[in-house]
Structure 1
Amino acid sequence: MSSTLPADTVTIDINDQPGHLIRRAHQIAVSVFHETMGREVTPVQYAVMRTLESSPGIDQVRLAQQAGLDTSTAADIAARLEAKGWITRQVLARGQRELRLSAAGEELLAGMVPTMAQMQHILLDGLDAQEQAQFLALLRKFVTVNNERSRAPLRSAS
């Protein structure tokens, strides 16, 4: 596959560099998350809680794999969520911790769903329906083809 990028990336305008644009997109997404969702939950905490919603009872290592986090970050976030009463962590036989949303965590997450839909609308509003689908498809593809380059590659629930 041939590349359309010039060999001399130093002369490429910063606004044509994927890494810079991805960083800016992340800044925007986090800003909109906090504007719409508030500051009670961070975007990463939300991702962890959604992961536990879809995979209740997993351990911290699986949580890290499924949420695309390193294990120490996953453990730290789990401890913070437990301290807030939003998840439970039960020590298993081999020292692993089984993680589940608490009733308060389930309630919090359920209350966030309508606001998350609003956030999605805000982020994608400048794109028509076809562009939105294309943008999300390209983001998914980018993340998939570069997964192994991550310091915390995403691993499926299987």
Structure 2
Amino acid sequence: MTLKDLYQRPGFLLRRTHQISAAVFENACASVGLTPAQYGVLTVLANEPGLDQTRLARALAFDKVTVMRVCKGLEERGLIERRVSEHSRRQMAVVLTPDGQKLLQQARGPAEQAYQRLLSPLSLTQRQQLIEILEALTQGLADDARAPFVPLLPADAADTPAKPAAAPKARATRTNTGRTKAAPRR
């Protein structure tokens, strides 16, 4: 394989695009001090107050450790609160504080600027195509993901009957030896 081949591999280009996307976002949101992950958590919580950490992680396709780390940082800044869930004493419900709501509102403009900056090299048609291709990739390869993605339904979708979710498929997991084994069904 040549370097040209490496640099044209989808994995390399997606990783590089993610690096650039994060940098563009962090530069635009430097004044509010938010990372893309933190902004995602605040946005989900603004739409679903009191969400438990497991559903929060799934709504953003984070693993449990990542969502706990992001929540800890936001909690230390006084932007969210974690409390025992009303529905289950074993789960933590997460809510925005008034400071978190205020910061999220301040971040919306810079986040939109980052979004526009990231897509600025593309025509409107290319932007639409990119989103469609990325959605096809993420949906088509969802079973290979390390963290599940379970999107939350928007409030206006509650009136539309939801399709039943398919049973989760068994996924291969890597052992510490590098071998793969089938994951048990949940």
| Normalised-by-shorter TM-score class | 0.7 to 0.9
Which stretch of structure 1 is more off in the superposition, 86-95 or 43-52?
A: 86-95
TM alignment of 1:140-155, pairs within 5 A: 140-155=135-150
TM alignment of 1:8-157, pairs within 5 A: 10=1, 13-38=5-30, 40-92=33-85, 93-157=88-152
The Cα shift of 1:90 comes to: 1.0
TM-score, length-scaled by structure 1? 0.87
Counterparts of 1:118 and 1:42, CA distance in 2: 14
Confirm or deny: 8 A CA contact 2:78 2:99 kept in the other structure: yes
SS of corresponding position for 2:93: strand
Q: What's the CA shift string for 1:110-158, capped at 9, x where partnerless?
A: 1111111111111111111111111112112211212221110201336
TM-score, length-scaled by structure 2? 0.75
Counterparts of 1:95 and 1:78, CA distance in 2: 17
The count of aligned residue pairs is 149
What stretches of structure 2 of length at least 5 have no aligned partner?
Answer: 154-186
SS of corresponding position for 2:127: helix
Runs of 4+ in structure 1 off by over 6 angstroms are none
Percent of pairs with identical residues: 32
> 2:175 matched to which residue of 1?
none
Counterparts of 2:151 and 2:20, CA distance in 1: 27
What stretches of structure 1 of length at least 5 have no aligned partner?
Answer: 1-9
User: Between Structure 1 and Structure 2, which shows a larger proportion of helix residues?
Assistant: 1
